[in-house]
Amino acid sequence: MHSLMRRAWVEVDLGALLRNGTALMERAGVPLLPMVKANAYGLGAVRVARTLQRLDPWGFGVATIAEGEELRRADVEGPIVVFTPLLAGEFDAALRADLTPTLGSHAAVSQWMLTRRPWQLSVDTGMSRSGVPWNEVSALHDVILEHPPQGAFTHFHSSERDDITRDEQERRFAAALACLPVKPAMLHAENSAAVEHRAPSPWNVIRPGMFLYGVGSGHHAAIQPDPVLSVRARVIDVRRVPQGDTVSYDGTYRAASDRRVATMAVGYADGYPRALSNRGAVLIHGRRAPVVGLVTMDMTMIDVTDVQCELGDEATLIGTDGLDRITVADVATAANKSPYELLTGLNGRMPRRYIEEGA
């Protein structure tokens, strides 16, 4: 057993990652601009980006200068777009790392145009978090005319829902583009869910995130992703808990009968949600074992009374074991979290184990 695998770890199926990217690209009919922000949603930005380069993406999307710098240090080439607004003091760092900022104010564009480097226009059509409001784009007329953006984009706030909000945002985006003195050659708006629900894409690239990493927008979507991520931990203790005894802090679990309880070497400091206390479940030898007591910082207890379990056994918190599977969505729902929050919360102290395509 590899030393890094002794406690708890995250497995990333790179073959599934590539299949998901290919499925999205074929459905949309345009290149990918994969979002690898937040350490590629917890999967490891450098390894994910290097793998996705096999699909010849247009570029990569990040949220911070530091994330872009990490990719550059790893020799990731091509455009890297920073999708959160930059503060004035960050422009030099973005320039040094050859990053493409997304700008949405006259002041920001005026400052960046001195660099004569590419930039993208962020248009707010309903998110109300960043970008120039769609009905105020004309205020940027002079700076756009002097230094036109490489591209322009907006962001759908409810692309998973079957309602009119996407149509309204697209109408606003079209109105904003009509006000530009120069139409950018590159236009984009769609995240994973938008592509799942409508194809082909009317834009030049798509910006997938969660679908790449194995989480779709529901059974009603036209395509479904292959699972990419698994989380596993070792059993480090097995003991008999007599009837009436408690398990973990605050005694929230009291054994109604003699039970056999195992301890896994994983806790909320690793990103396994504390909200799964007394309600989550894991797989041991293909059988479900419920979480008992409060999830602690470094350890989580499970009832293995009816499950084969010994010291050193492998527990699957997310993933497949035998004929059963626990999905990211299953765990997120049980913890009352979004899948995004769950994945990005997986702590770096759990090493990533990458499974190559065909392995």
- The residues carrying an active-site annotation are 37, 249
Contact 153, 169 (CB under 8 A): no
Residue 298: Cβ within 10 Å count: 17
Q: Which of 320, 336, 319 is nearest to 274 (CA)?
A: 336
- Residue by residue, DSSP assigns 227-243 as P-EEEEEEEEEEEEE-T
- Residue by residue, DSSP assigns 247-316 as ESGGG-EE-SS-EEEEEES--GGGT--GGGTTT-EEEETTEEEEB-S---SS-EEEE-TTS---TT-EEE
φ, ψ (nearest 5 deg) of residue 287: -115, 150
Cα–Cα dist 97/74, whole Å: 12
Cα–Cα dist 76/87, whole Å: 24
Contact 148, 183 (CB under 8 A): no
Enter the tokens of residue 191: 């995240």
Q: Which of 340, 264, 257 is nearest to 309 (CA)?
A: 264
Cα–Cα dist 1/9, whole Å: 13
Cα–Cα dist 18/20, whole Å: 5
